[in-house]
Amino acid sequence: MAYYHKLGTFPQKRHVQFRQEDGSLYAEQLVGTLGFSGLSSLLYHKNPPTRITRIGEPVPYAPKVAEGIKLAPHHLKTLDQTITGTDYLSARKTMMLNSDVAISICNPSERKMDYYYKNGQADEVVFVHEGSGVLLSQMGKLEFREGDYIVIPRTIIHQFHFNDGPVRLLITESFSPIETPRRYRNHFGQLLEHSPFCERDIRAPHELIEYTEGGEHLVQIKKDGLLHQYYYGFSPFDVVGWDGYFYPYALSIYDFEPITGRIHQPPPVHQTFEAHNFVICSFVPRLFDYHPQAIPAPYNHSNVDSDEVLYYVAGDFMSRKGVDRASFTVHPGGIPHGPHPGTVEASIGKKETHEYAVMIDTFKPLYLTEEAVGLMDKNYPMSWLENGPNTTRAADMFD
């Protein structure tokens, strides 16, 4: 998602003299993609962003893939993980990954970051399951609240400041740009009339951060499984103005308008974002199918070339015991899954659903991490042997 945005002061023309009160030039910085052919923004700093005072030793920061995991459906129960670490980076626990994407939970105990962070090689989508606060970046302040997707393009230096109360985050790290679905955009880039959300739902930074001089400022840069420690003698939030198409933004799951039909609609109608080899979908309250002989429960299906991950956010999932908020279900490609016995008949006549969930479908196999193994429900692969109308797997009421 990109549209033109600007904040602060800058000259009328690009790449011309723009001077501070003392007569010195502001330091111009182009932040761009695809070798000057993609999205970009032009920033004006009080200090050259290249002025590093020192570089510390890199810190290992890579998840470990679990070995010997059976090819099977998996259920990860994370609701009891109310605190996963102290600060924002130590609290990030990766659950699964491949060469395109990494999926993590993050429930920090600290309210503010005393350092700055940027991902040097991946865009990040931070879904706010619980909590609120403000994202601070070079582009300014962006308030967020429960239910928001916060899209942070790679290399954007930022901090999270959380308000009091629980914080529960789902973080999707993408090694290709995060975009809105192409079928919902015209060739100018505008979202079309049939898109389930539009530009009015997008929230961009709205106020620059007041610059304070002095002191040492640490920027931790995530790249190649390490956190690189860069120190500056000034705040990286010393931007007095910027304009362009490259910046963080927020979109609420509560502003996603569902697409429904007379018969069961497939998961692509719920798509919210896309990247190379994976998509992110939003399941929200909606009316069920309205054909007189419709079956609201989905058919059994095999995603022969993709893995399916569902993260449960809120609502009554009509599920068997054990699938609750903050649970993941993971269904690998090629293994059929669908409603439990009795749930197809039980769904007939149902009019609506009130669930919220985030789904991530990948087109390369996902690998569970050692952190994830300790959260696995080992009985889940055999749960389709259970009988009765209350055994519906929540994912299959969404798919």
Whose CA is closest to 176, among 280, 279, 275?
275
Beta-ladder partners of 362? 278, 307
Cβ atoms of 157 and 219 closer than 8 Å: yes
Residue 119: strand, helix, or coil: strand
How far is 227 from 353, CA to CA, in rounded Å?
43
How far is 169 from 147, CA to CA, in rounded Å?
10
Let me know how many helices (H) and strands (E) the chain has, helices first.
3, 27
Report angle CA 241, 243, 247 to the nearest 5 degrees. 100
Whose CA is closest to 354, among 287, 299, 280, 268?
287
How far is 261 from 322, CA to CA, in rounded Å?
31
How far is 305 from 256, CA to CA, in rounded Å?
27
Residue 340: strand, helix, or coil: coil
Would you call 264 a catalytic residue per the annotation? yes
The count of other CB atoms within 10 Å of the CB of residue 229 is 16
Q: Produce one character per residue of 247-283: b if its CB has 16 or more CB atoms within 10 Å, e if not.
A: bbbbbbbebbeeeeeeebbebeebbbbbbebbbbbbb
- Set 5, 45, 194, 264: catalytic member: 264
Q: Is the dihedral of CA 317, 319, 321, 326 positive or negative?
A: negative
How far is 315 from 285, CA to CA, in rounded Å?
9
How far is 399 from 396, CA to CA, in rounded Å?
5
How far is 323 from 103, CA to CA, in rounded Å?
19
Q: Is 307 annotated as a binding residue?
A: yes
Q: Is 276 annotated as a binding residue?
A: no
Q: Which two tokens stand for residue 339?
A: 């409603």
- Which residue ranges make up the annotated binding site for Fe cation? 301, 307, 337
Residue numbers annotated as active site: 264
- Which residue ranges make up the annotated binding site? 301, 307, 337
